[in-house]
Amino acid sequence: MNLQERYSLILGKIGFNYKEINILWFDLEKAYSGKSRHYHNLNHLKEMIELFDLYKSYIKNPDEILFSIFYHDYIYKASRKDNELKSAELALKVLAENNSLDKNLIFDAIYATQFHSHNSIEDINWLIDFDLKILAKDWDDYKIYCNQIRKEYKIYPDFMYKPGRAKALKHFLENGFIFQTEEFRGLYEEKARANIEKEISLLT
């Protein structure tokens, strides 16, 4: 998949010109290619867009959700707790006066990736599930993901990271479901729970 091409297509569709698109793409690529981006990088976007392509027919506002995918982790710093909020604000700043997309939906969709809780808007639930699909990978791939996340939080020693990570993972298990759409629950819920439980056991 050519991410730049997909990005250019969606921005061109909503009225941005060639020069504006190139500047914005360079900025986006730089943000997702930082040295600290071991997981929340361009490859994460690719995997989410592949899922978006598979389930696009279920999504009522595909342009908004695709745009949200590109910007949902634009700002990502392990030391911050407002990454999703700031990413949502940045996404609206990029759109500026452009009225082709539903800005409220985009803001709410990106912000929803902070807590991954069920939303009354089904499009947002699809975005959440695309973001969480990594939790249902085969164990070997899941371990790679775990190591990537640990590297992103390397500023924290184990005695701080391990209980913090375990607490975040237990939050998923305490919810009725990890995934928000019926499709993903049927396909991935059991596998994701098993992976999470195994990771917690290794952290404690």
Task: Give the mean pLDDT of 156-180.
Answer: 96
Please state the domain count of the chain: 1
Gap between the Cα atoms of 198 and 139, Å rounded: 9
The residue segments making up the domain with residue 132 are 3-203
CB neighbours (10 Å) of residue 52? Answer: 20
* CATH number of the domain that residue 149 is part of: 1.10.1300.10
Task: Determine the pLDDT at residue 23.
Answer: 98
**More confident of the two residues 1 and 201:** 201
Task: Give the mean pLDDT of 167-185.
Answer: 96
pTM over 0.75: yes
Q: Which helix (H) or strand (E) holds 98?
A: none
Per-residue pLDDT band at 131 (split at 50, 70, 90): very high
Cα angle, residue 169 at apex, residues 55 and 65 outer, rounded to 5°? 25
Share of the chain above pLDDT 70, in %: 100
Whole-angstrom CA distances from 168 to 37, 90, 189 are 19, 25, 17
Predicted confidence (pLDDT) per residue in 80-109, tens digit: 999 999 999 999 999 998 889 999 999 999
Structure tokens at 166: 């375990």
Share of the chain above pLDDT 90, in %: 97
Task: Determine the pLDDT at residue 1.
Answer: 83
Task: Determine the pLDDT at residue 138.
Answer: 98
Task: Determine the pLDDT at residue 124.
Answer: 98
**Mean pLDDT, the chain, integer:** 97
